[in-house]
Structure 1
Amino acid sequence: MWATVAGLTGFYVLRYGFGAPDMALYALFGALPLTLFAQVPGPAEQRTRTFLAVLPAGWALVTAGTLLAAHSWSAACGLFVVGFTASFLGVGGPRLGGLAAAFQLYYLLPCFPPYAPEALAGRLGGLTVGILLTTLVDRLLWRDEQPVPYRVLLADAVDAVAGYCASIARLMTGSGSSGGTGGGDGEAADRSGARRDQEAAYQALQATLLSRVAPTERPTSASLRDRACYDVRAAVRHVRAQLDRLLAGAEGPDPGAARLLDRAAAALRDAGRVLRSGAAGPHDDALAMALSSFRADRARRLAGVTALRLRQDSVVQAAATGALLAGEGARIAFGAPLDARWQWPGGPFPYAELRAPSRWWRRLRLHLTPRSVLLQNALRLALALAGARLIVGALDLPHGFWVLLTIISLMRTSAADTRGALPPAFLGVAVGAVLATLMLVVVGDTPAFYIAAAPVVFLVGFSVGPVLGTAWTQAALTLVLILLFAQILPPDRHLPAMRLLDVVIGGSLGAVASLLAWPKGAGGELRRSVVNFMVRGAEACKAVTLGLCQGSGSSPGPGPEQGHGIGIGYGPGRGHAGNHSADPLRPAHAAMLLAQAAHTQYRTEHAGRDRAAPPWETAMQPGHHTVSGGELFLAARRNGEGPDVPADATTVLMTLADRVADDCLRATQLVRSAGADVPELSGPYPAAESAPLRCAVAQAQTRGPDADPAAILLIADTEAWLTGVAHDAARVVRTAAR
C-alpha cells in the first residue's frame, strides 16, 4: 500500500497531469528505492528526518550519474565509487546501511544513455517529488509494524539478570526460603529458583545478540546511544558470567555479599527502567557506596580468610562492578553527561566525550582492513556493478539499467546464497515476461488498461511478495516495469524478452563476482576472525596481568579512595614508570568487533553453512570475558597508582596468566581445526589449589598488621578474573566435545 501510493501518485500526476514523462519516471524511481529496497529504522519523526536528509544526497547522485553518462568508462568509475561508498557506509549502522541500495539506484538510472545533461533540471524535479511524496505517505499512511526496539530487548535482558542476581543474593544469605521448615529444603528451593532465573537470564541475553535482532534495530552505529547500549550489554553479560560462577560454587552464608548483590540487582533494575523509558533519570550512588563498603569490609577481615572466600568475594565484587557500569552506560545512552568519576583518559566510556566525527572516523578506520566482511561486501558489490556497467556499454544493451538492478536485488554476500537466489528469480522473470508478452499482444496500444492495471499489479504483487518468495516478487516486478514503460514509450512486445535477457545477464554477472571475490562470504571469514579474537584475548590476559603487577595501568585520574567512591580501586601507591598511554586491550577489542560483524552477517547467510562449526557465541566468550574483565581492572588501576604486588605474588600470577593463555590457545586450536582435535586443558582451577590465592592467604597470615590489604585483594581479584576466562575456555572445549 505504502509503496503503491508513494510510487504511482507522482508518476501519474507528472505523466498525465503535466505531460512530463521524464520527470514522471524519476518521481517513480525517487520513491521506489525508499519503499521497496531501503530499510529505514525508527519512529515516524525520525524516518521523516532521514528521508529529508536523503534528498540532497539524491540530487548529488542524479547529477553525477547524468554528467558521467557521456562515456561507459566514466559511468563505470563513478558507479564503483558510489557502489562502494554507499555500501561501506553501512559500518555506520542500520540508518545508513539501509539506504545503500537507494543511493546506488539514484546514480544508476541517469548513468545510462541517453547522455542528456539538459534534462538534469527535470530529473531533479521528479526525484524531489518522489522523495517528498514518500515522506508524506510514510507519515500519513499505515506502515508495517516496527520491530521491537533494541533498547527494549536490552531492558528485558537487564531485568532478567537483575532477577538472577537477586536469586543468588537469597542463596548467599544462607537462611533458606522455607522459613522454619528446614534449612536444607530452603536452600534447595533457593538453588532451584536461581537455576530458573539463570536460564531466563541466558534466554533474554540471547535475544539481544546482534545476529538475532532486526537489522534496523542493531546498535552498530557510532552514535552515543548505540555505543553505550553495546557497553551495557557487555557489562550485563559480565555480571551473568560472575553469577554463574557463584551459583556453581558459592560458600555461604555470606550476608555482606548478599547485601551487595541485592544492591546490584536494584541498580540493574534501575538501568532497565532507563532503557525502557528512554530517559536518563537521576543519578544514584547507592551501589558505588555499597561497593566501597564491601571492599573496606574485605580488607578488615583478611585475617584467617580462606582461598575460597577470597575468590568468592572477588567474583561478587566483579558482578557488582559490572552492574555499576551497566547503570552508567544506560544513563549515557539517553543523554546523561559522563559522571565525574569516569572522566579520565582511558576510562570505560572513552567515546562519551568525543565529538560525533571522531566516533565515526574510528568506526570507519576499524573496518578499513581486508579482514572486515563489511569492506569485503562493499568491494564485491562495487566491482560487480562497475564491471556490469562496462559490459552493458560494450554490448550496447537496451534497458541496461535492468542488468544492474538485478545485481543489486539478487547478489548476496556469498556465492552459495547468490546461486540459490538465481533459479527462483529467473523463473519468476520468465513467467512475468510470458504474461507481459501476452498482455501486450492482446491489449496493444490501450493506455487506459495500463493505467488501471499498474496499481493493482503493484499492490498485489509487492504485498504478498515477502510471503511467496523471490519468484513471485520478480514476476510482479517484471509486470510492473512493463506496465509503466508502456505508458512512457509505445508498447513493445519485445520488451519482456529484453527484461528476461537483462536479468539473466545481471544474475550471471553477480554470481561470477560472488564466486571470484570472497566466495564463502562470512562463512570464510568468521572462523579466521574468531580465532584471531581468541588469540588476541589470550595475549591480553598476559599483558593486563603484567600491567597490574607492575602498576602500569592506563591513564591518570583520581583514585576511588580520593573522593569519587567507585569502589573498584586498590588504593594509592608509589606508582611505577611505564607507558601509560598504551592499551593492552586495544588489539583484542578491535578483533572482537570484526568477529562480531562477521558473525552477524554469517547468521543472515543460509547456503553453504559449515556443519563442523562450533557455537560461535561460546567460542567468543573467553575473549569477551577477557575484554570486559580487563577493562574493569584498567579502570580501577590508573597511571600506575595502586599497591605494589610482591615479587613472589607477581611470579605466581604471571604463571597463572601463562597457563590460562595456553588453555585459551588450545581452545583456539580446536576452533581453527573445526573440531578435528579436542585438546586437553590444564584446568580445572579449584580455589584451594590456586597458587596466587595461597600466596595471598600467606601474605595475610604471615605479615599480620603489616600486610597491605590492597595488594592482597588485587592478587585475589586478578586470580578470579583469570580463572573465569579459563572456565570459559573449558566451556568451548566441552561444547565441541559434545
Structure 2
Amino acid sequence: MTRGSATVVLRRRLPLAVGGRGRPSWLPGWSRPAAMRAVRSTLVVPGLFAFGYLVLGDLQVATFAAFGGFATLVLASFGGRWQDKLRAHLGLALASSVLIVIGTAVNGSVLLASLMTVPVAFAVLFAGVAGPNAASGATAALLAYVLPAASPGTLAEVPARLGGWWLASVAGTAAVLLFSPRAPGFALREAAARCARALADQLDAALAGDSDPAVRTAVVEAKHELQTTFTSTPYRPTGLATPDQAMDSLVGLLEWCAYVIIDSVGEYRDLSAIPGVERKLLAETATVLREIGGLLDDGVVRVDLQPLERQLGESVEYLRRLNSDGDGYADAVHLSFHARTAAVAAHSAMTDALIAAHRADPSAVPGSRRRWYGETFETEALGERRLAGLVAAAGVVSRHASLRSVWFLNSVRGALALAAAVAVADLTGVEHGFWVVLGTLSVLRTSAAATGATALRALLGTVVGFVVGAVLLLVIGTGPGALWIALPIAVLVASYAPGALPFAAGQAAFTVVVSVLFNLLAPAGWEIGVVRIEDVALGCAVSFVVGMVFWPRGAASVVADDLADALRAGGAYLAESVDWALGLRTAEPQPGPAIAAGVRLDDALRGFLAEQGSKRLPKDDLWRLVAGTMRARLTAYSLAGLPNPEAGPDRFRTQLSEQAGQLAAWYDHLASRLDRTDHGAVPVLAPPEFRDPRAAGAEVDDLHCALWVGEHLRHLMGRLEELVPPAMLVADLRHRPWWR
C-alpha cells in the first residue's frame, strides 16, 4: 500500500466548440430542436389565424390565436416527460386566461394599467424560481397580459380573446406532444448514469490493482460532462417536484464522490493491498454506484443498501479493535476516511436516485428533504404528503425573497420596466402600444450594459426586418393571396430563430411576420414597418433607462454577494458540524442557511453567464468557486452525519475545534474581500496550516472519530488556495464601471 503526498486537483475543461470545418463563426449551425419548433409553428400558427379570420370572421379570435400560438410554440419551451409537458402547457393556458382577463380589465386607465403591471409581472417572473418549466413559460405568460393591457378593448371581448388563446393552447400542446425532440432532462439523467458507472469502474480497477490511466480519464470526462450538462442552462434544469429535487441533489453527490474517489486513487496507487474490511467497503460502494447508473437508465435493477450499511458498521468496528498507539493507526484512519466518505456519498446518492426514479420508499423521503432544504417537514402528521410540495415551494420563495437573489432583483426590474412601458405606450398614443411593451420585454437583460447591447441588436434587426418586409410587400403586393403564401414562410424563419440564429435575425424575422400579419388584418403596406421601428425603439429606450436606474451592474454584483454569503454560511455550518462530531455541541448543526446561499449563488452565476459580454471571466473558474462552496457544505454534511459522542472537551478535541474555527474564519476573510466597499488591492490569502494535536501528546477516547474529523479538515484545506484567484477576479469585476 502506497500513499502519495499530493492531493489530486481536478481542473474542468471547457467543451470544445462544435461546428463545420471552415464555417465562419458568425454563420449559424443546424439545430434540430429549433427546426422541429419551426415546423410545429408553421403548421399551427397560420392555420389558427386563418381559422379565426376566414372561418369565424372574428379579429379578436384571429389575433389572440396567432399570438397565443406563437407564445405556446415558440416562447415557451417545456421539458420533462410528456406528462410534465402536458401539465406545464395546461398551467400556462390557465395562467394566461387569468392574465388576459386582468389585462383587458385595466387597459382603459393608464394609471391602473401601469400599477397593475407591477405585481402581475413580478409574480410571473418570480415564479421562475419554481423550476425550468416555470421560467421558460414566463415570457409566454407575460405576452398574454401585455397584449390586452396595451391594446384597445373592452370586457365584452374577453370571451373571444380567451377562445382564440385556448384554441392556440390546445392545438399547440397537441403539436408539442406529438412532435418534440428528446427532453434536456433525460440528458442530465444519462450524464449522471455515465458518471456513476465510470466511478464504479474506477473503484473496481483500483481494487484489482489496475492503474490504467484511461480509467481515471474516463471518470474525469464523465464528471465534466455531468457538470457541463447541469450548468449549461441559464436556470437550474430541475424543478420543485420531489424527483427533480432528488436529481438536483444527486448531481452534487456524484461530483463530491468523484472528488473523493479520484483523490483516494491518487494517494493509494494499489487498493488491492489495503485491509480486507476497507476493500469490501469500497467494493460495495462500487456496486451501489453501478446500480445507480442502471437505475437512472430506467433499467430493472434490484437495489439493496444493506450490504453497504453492514460494511460501514464493520469498518467502524475494525478501527475500534485496532491499537490506537500503534504506528499504523493514523494511516488506517486516513484510509478509513476515504473509504467511509465515498461509501456515505454513494449511499446518499442511491437514496436520491431511487426518489428520482420514483422507486423510493415513502418513509425515506422526509429525511432526504431535510438534506436538500436543511429543514424538517412534518407533512405526514398533517395527513397529506402532497403538502410537502407546498412547503418546499414556500421554502424556495423564502430563500429568494432577498436582495441577494438574482431572481428577486430581475423580477423587480422586469416588473418596473414593463409598467413603465405600458405607461409610455399609453401616454405617447402610439398606434400599437403592444409593440412598445413587447420591445421592452424582449431586450431587458440582467445588467444595463447587456440591455443596451441587446437593444441595439433589436433595433438593427427591426430595421432589417422592415427593409425585408417592405421589399416583400413591394414585390408581392398587399393582395390576400400573396400574403397568405408569405405568412407560413415568415413564421418558419421567425420560429427557427430563437436560440439558433443571432438575436437581430430573430427580431428581423418577427418584424416580417408582423408586417404580413397586420397587412392581412388591415392592409397598410410598408408603413406598418415604420410604426414597428418607432415602437420597438421606444420600448428599448424604456428597458435601457430602467436598467440604468435599477441595479445597472446586474448579476455581477449579486454573484459577489452570493459567493460571500455561501462562503460564510458554509464556514459556519462546517464549524457547527465539527463541534457536533467532537461532542462539543449538543444541538444538531443547521444546514439551512448554507443550502439557501448555495442555491442563490448557483442561480446568480447562471444569470451572470447568460449575459452578453459577461465572458470576461472563464466559466471554469466561476464554477470552481461554486464547487468550493459545495465542498465546504458537503464536508460539513459528512461531519454532521457522524455520531455525537458523549465526551467532554479535551486537548485534542479543543484543538480540532480551534482549527475548524480558523477555517471558518478563512472563509469569512475571503468573503469580506468579495463584499467589501473599498477599492484597494486585495491581499493574497493563505489557508491555515493543519496541526496534528497528537504530536503534542494529547489523548482522547474514540480516537478514530476525532481523527476522522481531522481528516475531513485536512482534505478540505488542501483545496483552499485554488479558490483565491477566481474569487479575486469576481471581487475586481464588481467594482468596474457597469458600462465596461
Same fold (TM over 0.5): yes
Matched residue, 2:231: 211
Paired AA for residue 610 in structure 2? T
1:265 aligns with 2:268: no
Matched residue, 2:566: 533
Contact 1:238/1:629 (CA < 8 Å) preserved in 2?
no
Q: Secondary structure at the match of 2:239?
A: coil
Matched residue, 2:693: 691
* Counterparts of 1:612 and 1:434, CA distance in 2: 39
* Counterparts of 2:714 and 2:389, CA distance in 1: 38
Matched residue, 2:686: 680
| Superposition deviation, residue 42 in structure 1 | 2.1
Contact 1:667/1:732 (CA < 8 Å) preserved in 2?
no
| Superposition deviation, residue 614 in structure 1 | 8.4
Contact 1:162/1:269 (CA < 8 Å) preserved in 2?
yes
Matched residue, 1:254: 274
CA deviations 1:497-529 (Å, max 9, x no partner) are 110001111112112222222222222211221
1:287 aligns with 2:325: no
511-520 or 661-670, which moves further after superposition? 661-670
CA deviations 1:527-567 (Å, max 9, x no partner) are 22112211222222222222333364xxxxxxxxxxxxxxx
CA deviations 1:272-325 (Å, max 9, x no partner) are 211221778544311111111111111112342432332221222111111111
Matched residue, 2:119: 81
Output aligned runs, 1:54-133, within 5 Å: 54-133=92-171
Q: TM-score under structure 1 normalisation?
A: 0.84
Contact 2:580/2:587 (CA < 8 Å) preserved in 1?
no
Q: Which of 644, 659, 684 lines up with 1:656 in the alignment?
A: 659
| Superposition deviation, residue 379 in structure 1 | 0.8
Unaligned runs of 5+ in 1: 171-175, 178-189, 553-577, 700-707
Contact 1:347/1:635 (CA < 8 Å) preserved in 2?
no
Higher Cα Rg: structure 1 or 2? 1
Q: Secondary structure at the match of 1:336?
A: coil
Paired AA for residue 732 in structure 1? L
Output aligned runs, 1:151-550, within 5 Å: 151-170=189-208, 176-177=209-210, 190=211, 192=213, 195-208=216-229, 210-212=230-232, 214=233, 218-250=236-268, 253-255=273-275, 256-277=277-298, 282-303=303-324, 304=326, 305-338=328-361, 348=371, 354=379, 355-440=388-473, 445-463=478-496, 466-550=499-583
* Counterparts of 2:507 and 2:431, CA distance in 1: 19
Matched residue, 2:53: 15
Paired AA for residue 661 in structure 1? A
What is the root-mean-square deviation of aligned Cα atoms in Å?
2.9
CA deviations 1:651-697 (Å, max 9, x no partner) are 121122123234434554666689943223333x4xxx61158767x
1:615 aligns with 2:621: yes
1:725 aligns with 2:716: yes
| Superposition deviation, residue 56 in structure 1 | 2.0
Matched residue, 1:186: none
Contact 1:338/1:353 (CA < 8 Å) preserved in 2?
no
Contact 1:693/1:719 (CA < 8 Å) preserved in 2?
no
* Counterparts of 1:192 and 1:515, CA distance in 2: 52
CA deviations 1:177-223 (Å, max 9, x no partner) are 4xxxxxxxxxxxx2745643553354244334x322x468x444221
Contact 2:466/2:530 (CA < 8 Å) preserved in 1?
yes
Matched residue, 1:564: none
* Counterparts of 1:322 and 1:628, CA distance in 2: 9
Per the alignment, do residues 737 and 133 of structure 1 end up closer, same or farther by CA in structure 2, a change over 3 Å counting?
Answer: closer
Per the alignment, do residues 456 and 613 of structure 1 end up closer, same or farther by CA in structure 2, a change over 3 Å counting?
Answer: closer
CA deviations 1:583-638 (Å, max 9, x no partner) are 4332222211111111122222231444499812322334322221222332343x
Output aligned runs, 1:136-155, within 5 Å: 136-140=174-178, 142-144=179-181, 146-147=183-184, 148-155=186-193
* Counterparts of 2:611 and 2:133, CA distance in 1: 21
Per the alignment, do residues 671 and 249 of structure 1 end up closer, same or farther by CA in structure 2, a change over 3 Å counting?
Answer: farther
Contact 1:158/1:236 (CA < 8 Å) preserved in 2?
yes
* Counterparts of 2:545 and 2:299, CA distance in 1: 47
Q: Kindly, what percent of the aligned residue pairs are identical?
A: 22
Matched residue, 1:642: 645
Q: Which of 66, 69, 79 lines up with 1:28 in the alignment?
A: 66
| Superposition deviation, residue 156 in structure 1 | 1.8
Paired AA for residue 654 in structure 2? T
Q: TM-score under structure 2 normalisation?
A: 0.84
Q: Which of 595, 601, 617 lines up with 2:601 in the alignment?
A: 595
Paired AA for residue 362 in structure 1? G
* Counterparts of 1:471 and 1:737, CA distance in 2: 35
Contact 2:234/2:610 (CA < 8 Å) preserved in 1?
no
CA deviations 1:82-103 (Å, max 9, x no partner) are 2111111110001111110111
| Superposition deviation, residue 54 in structure 1 | 2.3
Per the alignment, do residues 120 and 509 of structure 1 end up closer, same or farther by CA in structure 2, a change over 3 Å counting?
Answer: same
363-372 or 353-362, which moves further after superposition? 353-362
Output aligned runs, 1:552-631, within 5 Å: 552=585, 578-579=586-587, 583-611=589-617, 615-631=621-637
Contact 1:542/1:661 (CA < 8 Å) preserved in 2?
yes
1:716 aligns with 2:707: yes
Q: Secondary structure at the match of 1:207?
A: helix
CA deviations 1:367-394 (Å, max 9, x no partner) are 0001100111111111100011111111
Contact 1:486/1:492 (CA < 8 Å) preserved in 2?
yes
Paired AA for residue 123 in structure 1? R
| Superposition deviation, residue 462 in structure 1 | 3.4
Contact 2:100/2:148 (CA < 8 Å) preserved in 1?
yes
Unaligned runs of 5+ in 2: 1-38, 380-387, 730-740
* Counterparts of 1:426 and 1:340, CA distance in 2: 56
Paired AA for residue 691 in structure 1? P
Q: Secondary structure at the match of 1:491?
A: coil
Per the alignment, do residues 164 and 197 of structure 1 end up closer, same or farther by CA in structure 2, a change over 3 Å counting?
Answer: farther
Paired AA for residue 356 in structure 2? A
Per the alignment, do residues 109 and 621 of structure 1 end up closer, same or farther by CA in structure 2, a change over 3 Å counting?
Answer: closer
Matched residue, 2:20: none
346-355 or 63-72, which moves further after superposition? 346-355
Per the alignment, do residues 245 and 38 of structure 1 end up closer, same or farther by CA in structure 2, a change over 3 Å counting?
Answer: same
Q: Secondary structure at the match of 1:584?
A: coil
CA deviations 1:2-37 (Å, max 9, x no partner) are 112221111101211121122111111111111121
Paired AA for residue 420 in structure 1? A
